[in-house]
């Protein structure tokens, strides 16, 4: 097993179709002991599903933007398991465009400070708080695997009315690279994953077989949206000792979509 007896904290796992839960399942199948964390109460349902399957899992519902609450959670995890080897920071908030490419949020000149701060906090501060809390133990033991989930949106591409989201996700990449330099000599790796269009349920991309979904699929070089499991496989690799010489890297996982110079079809039907 690739991460046998490693203790892993995974955030953003409440969605049964999400990257966080897919990552948790990949890790636990390869021998990890899990602590699942999310702001939603549904985190406990995901934990119960894994417990029923016979895995060693605990769960916490809390606001990850609150550093003191994160520290309290960490104390409980360490009291139970004695350590944390792997930290997968998946928690965040996406969804910045409407169905017709008209933004759901206002442009930068109109966006309220509180709305901008919220997007920065939920996409960047959550990651900062978790690293700030668990890094000291990793430094002490001279071992750790930190995997941060960013996005292609921000570090690679952007769209209108997404300043808070893009700044937050770009910040995750900046934090990843800086931290990797600081802790590399301590046996700790810090890497980031940049998903593109990943279908995690909901109406954003449309259900399979619908015109909206077919337009998305057609526009991607591999002709399909990504699956949460595509990202989870990469999380598992970066959390395992197979990636011991991989540090400070950014992994785009989007079916080659971001490198296209021309897209002959729109990503989805637009209205002018």
Query: Which residues are known to be catalytic?
Result: 165
Give the torsion sign (CA, 240, 241, 242, 248).
positive
Sheet containing 7-11: order of strands: 57-61, 33-38, 7-11, 86-89, 144-149, 188-195, 250-253
Distance of CA 227 to the CA centre of its chain: 13
- With tokens 């000599």, the residue in question is 185
Give strand pairing partners of 60: 37
Give the torsion sign (CA, 251, 98, 89, 228).
negative
Q: Between β-strands 33-38 and 250-253, what pairing exists: parallel, antiparallel or unpaired?
A: unpaired
Whether residue 146 contacts residue 133, with contact meaning beta carbons closer than 8 Å, is answered with: no
């Amino acid at each position: 097993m690739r991460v046998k007896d490693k203790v892993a904290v995974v955030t953003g796992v409440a969605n049964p179709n999400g990257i966080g839960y897919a990552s948790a399942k990949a890790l636990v199948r390869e021998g990890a002991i899990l602590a699942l964390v999310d702001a939603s109460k549904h985190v406990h349902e995901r934990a119960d599903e894994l417990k029923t399957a016979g895995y060693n899992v605990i769960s916490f519902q809390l606001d990850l933007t609150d550093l003191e609450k994160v520290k309290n959670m960490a104390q409980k995890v360490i009291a139970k398991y004695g350590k944390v080897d792997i930290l997968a920071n998946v928690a965040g908030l996406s969804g910045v465009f409407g169905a017709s490419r008209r933004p759901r949020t206002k442009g930068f000149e109109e966006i309220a400070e509180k709305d901008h701060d919220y997007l920065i906090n939920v996409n960047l501060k959550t990651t900062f708080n978790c690293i700030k809390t668990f890094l000291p133990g990793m430094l002490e033991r001279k071992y750790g695997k930190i995997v941060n989930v960013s996005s292609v949106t921000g570090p690679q591409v952007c769209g209108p009315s997404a300043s808070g989201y893009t700044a937050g996700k770009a910040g995750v990449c900046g934090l990843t690279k800086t931290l990797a330099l600081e802790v590399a000599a301590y046996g700790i790796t810090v890497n980031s994953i940049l998903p593109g269009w990943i279908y995690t349920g909901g109406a954003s991309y449309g259900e399979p077989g619908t015109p909206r979904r077919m337009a998305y699929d057609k526009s991607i070089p591999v002709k399909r949206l990504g699956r949460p499991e595509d990202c989870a496989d990469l999380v598992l690799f970066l959390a395992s000792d197979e990636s011991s010489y991989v540090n400070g890297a950014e992994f785009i996982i989007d079916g080659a979509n971001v490198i296209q110079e021309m897209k002959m079809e729109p990503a989805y039907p637009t209205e002018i």
